Structure 1
Amino acid sequence: MSTKNKDKIIESVPQKGFFGHPKGLSTLFFTEFWERFSYYGMRAILLYYMYYEISKGGLGMDEATAASIMAIYGSLVYMSGIIGGWVADRLLGTTKTVFYGGILIMFGHIVLSLPGSITALFISMGLIIIGTGLLKPNVSTVVGELYSDKDPRRDSGFSIFYMGINLGAFLSPLIVGTVGQKYNFHLGFSLAAIGMFLGLIVFVLTKKKNLGLAGTYVPNPLTKEERKSVFAKIGIGAFMIVILGAITIPTGFLTIDRFTLLVSILGIVIPTLYFIFMYRSPKTTEVERSRLIAYIPLFIASIIFWAVQEQGSIILATYADKRTQLHFAGLEIQSSWFQSLNPLFIIFLAPVFAWIWVKMGKRQPTTTQKFAFGLLFAGLSFLVMIIPAYVNGTETLVNPLWLVLSFFLVVLGELCLSPVGLSTTTKLAPAAFSAQTMSLWFLSSASAQAINAQIVRLYSPETEIVYFGVIGAVSVILGVILFMISPIMKRYMNGIH
């Protein structure tokens, strides 16, 4: 975007009105609050809806298959962000893309709120995957457009916005989870739909007044000739997918298991091709190639970390439902409530970690060491889950505080790895591929969940000790190795701390 357009946008946005920040921040804060409320509320009960018996309001799916679908669902949600970025950059601009994404998400939740079959479940997932891909990356982009590059409020604004994300993610499992599990799954999904509807209402009613021109420009619009070519290719591609589905699904060739395996393979192949393409490009300098080599271990570490962290909504959710005492200290606990722990700990601990890094200044750990700590804490979050099974066996119910400890440890790892990951990506990315490398960073989460789709099938109470032990040990060992090679990584980074 040109400097002239940036200046026009800043001038059109009321610069005071939300805790000393641009007024548009309130629009985006509450839009994202309700979007995350709807997404995490739905996710808190979706696994249970899939594997609960039909007599209990579920779909009666096999637990291992349901867990695998949850992982693939998460993977595709992250992958779809690439589509959302392209649509905003070349077709609609960010605000329109956010709006249409919210519409699709709402309809996805509405489909789930109605009694239906497995087919309805997959239709809902398709709508939410595309809708989240359109909305999620672009609403953050609009936040950035509210501030000039030199505005000292910029980082603080993103912190406030990030708080909205976590508040929505914290409250929704408590509300949607309680209604969904205690009364009716479809009623819970209805609350998720209402949440997204409220987000859209806030966005539509306040965007003109609060956002000004932010998000209205299309940075790299398609020409008329390009539009014809692109739409023709999209149409042909969609037609081919429909034809393939019509042939392979009824014949039994394309099964759920084969589809999840295909996505798992793509989760590894796509980032691998990205790295090869960037490394071999003539646009990449020798120094940038060196930094790209240093980025690869960090990227792998990110995949391992998210593979553990994302199992909080799959394996630990199953553990909460099947293996945990849900009557504790005089309270009746819903298993979905444990999904509120991650955002709760982030809300309280993120400022603490920010203060620690500032306080340590130049003495703080290097980027590689922070990634290593992230893996160590992630591994420990699984290793502690061995203790109750080892002491009391796998047939007794476990004190819920073990789950609380596990979520707490993985959040410590997340705060070591996740915030620094974005910053490191911008520093190590080749100049010609800065935007694509940022997309690659988000693909690490997609790759992690694509791999999870195969791993989570191995969990059962009988394999519990081995499952938590092996994954936890692998994460810890890789964390130690990463810590040990940090001096070598520092040389390859060529001056990047």
Structure 2
Amino acid sequence: MTHPPAREKSFFGHPRGLATLFGTEMWERFSYYGMRSILVLFLSAPAVRGGMGLSETTAVGVYGVYIGSVYLLALAGGWMADRLFGPRKTVLYGAIVIMCGHLSLSAPAAGAFVWLGLVLVALGSGMLKPNIAAMVGDLYPPRDDARRDSGYTIFFLGINIGAFAGIMAVPWLQEGDRWHLAFGAAAAGMAIGLGQYVLRGRHLAGIGEEPEHRLTPRERARFRLTLGIAVPGVALALTLWALSGTFTIDRFTLVLALATAAVPLAYFLFLFNGSHEITPEERTRLRAYVWLFLGAAVFWMIYDQAGGALTLFAQNNTDLDVMGFSVPPGWINNVNSLAIIILAPVFADVFLKAGDRVSAPAKFAVALLLVGLSFVVMSVAAGIASGGVRVSIMWLISVYLIQTIGELFLSPAGLSVTNKLAPRAFENQMMGVWYLAISLGDAVGGQTYRLTAVVPMPAYYLGLALAAVAAGVAMMMSARRLRVLMGDTAARPAEVRA
């Protein structure tokens, strides 16, 4: 597509459509992160306080599988856009489903409405997330990598403005065990995002209107048959499991975690076997992408413990009294959002000026080393807290700040490189594959918390830290080779030494 110069300068030097997508994602993240900041606390709170009464390990397991499912379903959302509705409509439908999910969570009755709400939010997020990100990439010419990276960093800023506002508002409304009022605020946020997406959709200038590869009548009939068999089959299997008396939430979350790990494996095997309209050059680039995918999964396995292990650490082991004010445990998550709001424009400018001199593999390596360092700090804090004292809030603030810098290296680069390396026939689905890395990391991270029943917390954090550092070193050593597979120019000697 060609873009007139006036449009290019209309939103921080980027196309006007970026403002529409920025606003939609900002409000969707308000609802998601606001709800996420209290989810583990709600699940583990006793029934007398209006919570679900789950144990902490079970609550973290549910949390991990839930956020893993949010990103797992992004693959299905990408498929819907590619084959059924097109990205524009898929984002619209996803926003509606998310809003309904938060409304279900806000219902005064607990139990079934809670589980229904989580399912709807996960499904709607899977429809919205990959497609809105793919539409950002489509605003730019194919070879405008530096501006695309900068645009994704601004888009990433919108994510974190929404997250900051949501984490401030929802835990504050929840104080006094007003759980369902807080969930209602998340629904209101999504409603605002949905409204502005509809009203400002004209700025997208036709992007994402139609599916890239609409299903043929034969494929559509086969899809309906598969769906008609799969949905009742899963429902029957769950019913029989429940009737057998062996069903527990812990076992169910473990099964979902294993399924989450199997999905990316199956999908990559599918892409590498058979033509699927993928050219040999595109398949070579996919080989590089697999390694970036695995590195990202390790990063998110640690990073997304913020809403589980770190939130519980804030509640149980951290002195939250700051100058006479009691800080809600969920608010500490906002260190990340606030830091990104401040630092994202700086990083956008730095990456724009650096151009191709700093490759995606090098950025991933730095991110892995930083997230590993953050859990070294967390291990020390847990060691101090094991003596029965509450540690200073500055320990968690330090952990979040280190992770934020790592995220700024990895997330925008990951979105951009996915858009760049995606085979043309699977463009929107590949954005779903990027979110599969988050899904895999989150699902595994939620289950690793079970180890805390037999492993001391300092050793738990240190073990995860060492895994991330090892992955970062391996990524740095492989950066030159990965650039060749990606089709980039040869890495500079200074980059290889970095």
Tell me which interval the TM-score lies in, with the shorter structure as reference length: 0.7 to 0.9
Change (3 A) 1:173 1:463: same
Change (3 A) 1:140 1:116: same
Give the corresponding residue for 2:383: 390
- SS at 2:243's partner residue? coil
Give the corresponding residue for 1:345: 339
1:177 and 2:171 correspond: yes
TM-score computed with the length of structure 2 as normaliser: 0.87
Looking at structure 2, the residues matched to 212 and 293 of structure 1 have their Cα atoms a distance apart, in angstroms, of: 34
* Contact kept in structure 1, 2:149 and 2:413, CA below 8 Å: no
Change (3 A) 1:255 1:443: same
Looking at structure 2, the residues matched to 213 and 392 of structure 1 have their Cα atoms a distance apart, in angstroms, of: 55
CA displacement at 1:416 relative to structure 2: 2.5
- SS at 1:61's partner residue? coil
Give the corresponding residue for 1:3: none
Change (3 A) 1:218 1:289: closer
Change (3 A) 1:252 1:181: farther
CA displacement at 1:428 relative to structure 2: 5.6
Looking at structure 2, the residues matched to 418 and 164 of structure 1 have their Cα atoms a distance apart, in angstroms, of: 13
* Contact kept in structure 2, 1:278 and 1:433, CA below 8 Å: no
Give the corresponding residue for 1:330: 324
Change (3 A) 1:409 1:150: closer
Give the corresponding residue for 1:138: 131
Give the corresponding residue for 1:78: 71
Looking at structure 2, the residues matched to 84 and 217 of structure 1 have their Cα atoms a distance apart, in angstroms, of: 14
* Contact kept in structure 2, 1:29 and 1:161, CA below 8 Å: yes
Looking at structure 1, the residues matched to 183 and 135 of structure 2 have their Cα atoms a distance apart, in angstroms, of: 28
For structure 2, the residue ranges without an aligned partner over 5 or more in a row are 492-498
CA deviation digits over 1:171-217, x for unaligned, max 9? Answer: 1111111111345111100111111122222233443x544544332
Give the corresponding residue for 1:381: 374
Change (3 A) 1:420 1:114: same
Give the corresponding residue for 2:87: 94
CA displacement at 1:292 relative to structure 2: 4.9
**Aligned pairs, number:** 487
Looking at structure 2, the residues matched to 488 and 405 of structure 1 have their Cα atoms a distance apart, in angstroms, of: 34
1:471 and 2:438 correspond: no
Match of 2:122 among 100, 122, 129: 129
* Contact kept in structure 1, 2:320 and 2:326, CA below 8 Å: yes
- SS at 1:396's partner residue? coil
Whichever residue aligns with residue 483 of structure 1, its letter is M
CA displacement at 1:236 relative to structure 2: 2.0
Change (3 A) 1:159 1:425: closer
Give the corresponding residue for 1:161: 155
CA displacement at 1:121 relative to structure 2: 1.6
- SS at 1:171's partner residue? helix
Looking at structure 2, the residues matched to 376 and 239 of structure 1 have their Cα atoms a distance apart, in angstroms, of: 45
CA deviation digits over 1:25-67, x for unaligned, max 9? Answer: 4433322221111111111111100001112221111110110
Give the corresponding residue for 2:403: 410
1:450 and 2:447 correspond: no
Looking at structure 2, the residues matched to 279 and 265 of structure 1 have their Cα atoms a distance apart, in angstroms, of: 22
CA deviation digits over 1:455-479, x for unaligned, max 9? Answer: 0222369721111111112222332
Looking at structure 1, the residues matched to 349 and 203 of structure 2 have their Cα atoms a distance apart, in angstroms, of: 32
Q: Percent identity?
A: 38
Give the corresponding residue for 2:361: 368
Change (3 A) 1:370 1:138: closer
Aligned residue runs from structure 1 range 33-432, under 5 A: 33-145=26-138, 157-182=151-176, 184-207=178-201, 209-211=202-204, 213-281=206-274, 292-357=286-351, 366-391=359-384, 393-425=386-418
Change (3 A) 1:460 1:434: same
CA displacement at 1:432 relative to structure 2: 7.0
Whichever residue aligns with residue 102 of structure 2, its letter is H
Looking at structure 2, the residues matched to 96 and 402 of structure 1 have their Cα atoms a distance apart, in angstroms, of: 44
Change (3 A) 1:441 1:150: closer
CA deviation digits over 1:131-183, x for unaligned, max 9? Answer: 11112222234445556658897665544433222110111111111111345
CA displacement at 1:485 relative to structure 2: 4.7
* Contact kept in structure 2, 1:394 and 1:462, CA below 8 Å: no
Looking at structure 1, the residues matched to 222 and 173 of structure 2 have their Cα atoms a distance apart, in angstroms, of: 48
- SS at 1:249's partner residue? helix
CA displacement at 1:382 relative to structure 2: 0.7
Looking at structure 2, the residues matched to 486 and 87 of structure 1 have their Cα atoms a distance apart, in angstroms, of: 34
CA displacement at 1:221 relative to structure 2: 2.4
Looking at structure 2, the residues matched to 205 and 261 of structure 1 have their Cα atoms a distance apart, in angstroms, of: 42
* Contact kept in structure 2, 1:260 and 1:453, CA below 8 Å: no
* Contact kept in structure 1, 2:93 and 2:127, CA below 8 Å: yes
Higher RCO (C-alpha under 8 Å, 6+ residues apart)? 2
* Contact kept in structure 1, 2:161 and 2:337, CA below 8 Å: yes
* Contact kept in structure 2, 1:315 and 1:459, CA below 8 Å: no
Whichever residue aligns with residue 238 of structure 1, its letter is V
Moved more, 267-276 or 343-352: 267-276
Whichever residue aligns with residue 332 of structure 2, its letter is F
Looking at structure 1, the residues matched to 484 and 212 of structure 2 have their Cα atoms a distance apart, in angstroms, of: 37
CA RMSD in angstroms comes to 3.2
CA deviation digits over 1:6-30, x for unaligned, max 9? Answer: 67xx79x988865665554443332
For structure 1, the residue ranges without an aligned partner over 5 or more in a row are 1-5
Whichever residue aligns with residue 303 of structure 2, its letter is Q
Looking at structure 2, the residues matched to 495 and 116 of structure 1 have their Cα atoms a distance apart, in angstroms, of: 55
